[in-house]
Amino acid sequence: MDAERAHHIGMWGVQTLRKTGISKIGERLFFAPHPSLKTEAMGLTFPSPFGMAAGFDKGGYAISALGNLGFGHIEIGTLTGQAQPGNLKPRLFRLVDDKAVINRMGFNNGGAAEAGPRVAAARADLQSEYKGKLRPLIGVNIGKTKLVDLEDAIEDYLVSTRVLAPQADYLVVNVSSPNTPGLRDLQAIETLEPLLEAVRSEADRVVVGRRIPLAVKIAPDLANQDIVEIARMAVRLGLDGIIATNTTIARDGMGLTSDTAKITEIGAGGLSGEPLKSRSLEVLRILKSEVGDQLSLISVGGVTTAKDVQERLDAGAQLVQGYTAFLYEGPLWAARINKELLALRKNNK
Binding residues for substrate: 58, 103-107, 174, 179, 246-247
Binding-site residue set for FMN: 54-58, 78, 141, 174, 217, 245, 273, 302, 323-324
* CB distance 140 to 52 below 8 Å: no
Among 327, 273, 278, residue whose Cα is nearest residue 302: 273
177 is catalytic: yes
Of 48, 177, 272, 280, the catalytic one is 177
* CB distance 170 to 205 below 8 Å: no
> Which residues are known catalytic residues?
177
